[in-house]
Amino acid sequence: MVQEGEVSENVSRFEQARQAKLDRIRQLGICPYGGRFDGTQKAADIKAAFKEEITDSRAKCAGRIVLLRDIGKLIFITLRDSSGSIQLGLSKKVLADQWELAKLLEVGDIIGVEGRLGKTKTGEITIWTEKLTILSKSLMQPPEKFHGLADVDIRFRMRYVDLWVNPECLELFKKRSDIIAAIRQFLQDKDFLEVETPMMQTIAGGAAAKPFVTHHNSLDMDLFLRIAPELFLKRLLVGGMEKVFEINRNFRNEGLSRWHNPEFTMLELYQAYADYNVMMDLTEELVYLLVEKCCDGKQVQFCDMTINFAKPWRRAKYAELLEQYSGCKIDDISALRKKAAELEIDQAKMDDVVVISEVFEACVEDKLIDPTFVMDYPAQLCPLTRRSKENPDYAERFELYIGKMEVANAYTELNDPAVQEKNFRIQLRGQEDTMAKMDEDFLTALKYAMPPAGGLGIGIDRLIMFLTGAASIRDVVLFPLLRPKK
């Protein structure tokens, strides 16, 4: 145990120096962790409203010190708030009895200031500080260069530092918030109703994925963090909600990569009396609107690709794309298995339809750079989807690919309870015991009659990657899951 007056070995000399300044501030009778600070203006607003001819303008601002230059009787500070940065000028002559406090300030401290607004000889808009308030003393040494946290792992683990050290990080997450708000507004303008469905479910349904399992102590029962809200949203169609959407958190106990995070955000929506063609039109309209809002023009740079979002977007059938890029017809299983062997896909225990899917993924997906709706999937891959009237071997499903990634998935929803039960039974064969449960209540809901409908799911995190140019999903998730530090 560390005794009073001693310093833990884990405390760096920088922290010791900062602790000493904290103690001195307290000795001055000043609380180093101040409270309410009213009447502030944003840094960006102060600079935008500044008029040099108005000599008596004043400003009040609060934020974090990100740069400090002490030149004796004058201190220049760069103060950053959520809108941007502004320069402060602190003079010994003006501050008088607050000068000792000013000399104790360090990069990372949060302060509030009031004073006259003017310009320096170099033309920098500056608050010439007349009153100084310390609002929170920083005890940690910030990165050496306030404008650059370069280590990606540290940035993700210490997002609370990344946000104020790297202004572009804060701007990205502001943009994320704006994008989600625009999605909500777009759907509300089309009379969609936003709803909330359970995140803990007794049956992991609505998608094929490995769930996270938890336990409810009072009920003594296992529950699953949802892998999709689909079956609950469809219950609402049965209940008479004809247009519903949820911007939801889903959880899938699967791998980590630049495209995958186990906890992710999805937009899922359903529209009664629609089909997958309506969903295609809706998806194109929504994403195109977001591109117009967030990007400079229709050509968007993403990683090493230039993506052209100009309408109309390509619509291509699954079987045609498979033949185009693999050289195999979808019904030639022998050729497809030979292709799978060439691709070193372990297919020994795979059903034919899974081999088709694996070859498609290997041969086709990385060719789909510009927005492409891949339509009419093999029906066996789509247990919740209505089959095509023209050819029941195919389901009325599309996936939207952008930049080699799947971004959206949509169906003409299956609403025949007998067919749905049969598909469930086929789907459950060979699954683990934790997953081998049929949602009987959902089947009961279908028996009460669900209207024909179109359904759509869009991966919000991946969509934001394209709209912001982020190279990894971790860049657009505030707190991505990481391996524990050793």
Taking only the tens place, the pLDDT of each residue in 377-422 is 999 989 889 999 999 999 999 999 999 999 999 999 999 999 999 9
Query: 196-235, pLDDT tens digit by residue?
Result: 999 999 888 777 788 899 999 999 999 999 999 999 999 9
The class level of CATH for 13-142 reads mainly beta
SS3 category, 126: strand
Average pLDDT of span 432-461: 87
Burial class (CB in 10 A: 0-12, 13-18, 19+), 385: buried
On whether the CB atoms of residues 272 and 451 are closer than 8 A, the answer is yes
A 10 A CB-CB count for 294 gives 17
CA–CA gap between residue 1 and residue 19 (Å, rounded): 19
> Distance of CA 183 to CAs 42, 148, 273, 428, 460, Å?
27, 32, 22, 35, 10
Q: Sign of torsion, CA 217 218 219 220?
A: positive
CA–CA gap between residue 11 and residue 9 (Å, rounded): 5
Question: The tokens of 207 are what?
Answer: 């998608």
Question: The tokens of 10 are what?
Answer: 């884990």
The pLDDT value recorded for residue 473 is 93
DSSP 5: T
A 10 A CB-CB count for 351 gives 11
**String of b and e for 35-54 (b: at least 16 CB within 10 Å)?**
eebeebbbbebbbeebeeee
Question: Hey, which bits of 189-262 come out as E strands?
Answer: 193-194, 200-201, 212-216, 221-225, 243-251
Please check the confidence at residue 167 and state whether its pLDDT lies above 60. Answer: yes
The pLDDT value recorded for residue 149 is 54
Strands in 263-272's sheet, in edge-to-edge order, are: 193-194, 243-251, 263-272, 453-459, 405-412, 394-402, 372-378, 314-317
Please check the confidence at residue 341 and state whether its pLDDT lies above 70. Answer: yes
Average pLDDT of span 57-64: 97
What are the boundaries of each domain within the chain? 13-142, 164-313+370-475
pTM above 0.85, yes or no: yes
Backbone φ, ψ for residue 267 (5° rounding): -100, 125
Query: 98-120, pLDDT tens digit by residue?
Result: 999 999 999 999 999 999 999 99
Query: 280-331, pLDDT tens digit by residue?
Result: 999 999 999 999 999 999 999 998 999 999 999 999 999 999 999 999 999 9
The pLDDT value recorded for residue 431 is 58
Least confident of 36-45, 81-90, 474-483: 474-483
Q: Which CATH number fits domain 164-313+370-475: 1.20.58.410, 3.40.50.620, 3.30.930.10, 3.90.870.20?
A: 3.30.930.10
> Distance of CA 372 to CAs 204, 281, 283, 308, 329, Å?
30, 12, 11, 11, 20
Query: 124-164, pLDDT tens digit by residue?
Result: 999 999 999 999 999 998 876 544 456 778 888 889 999 98
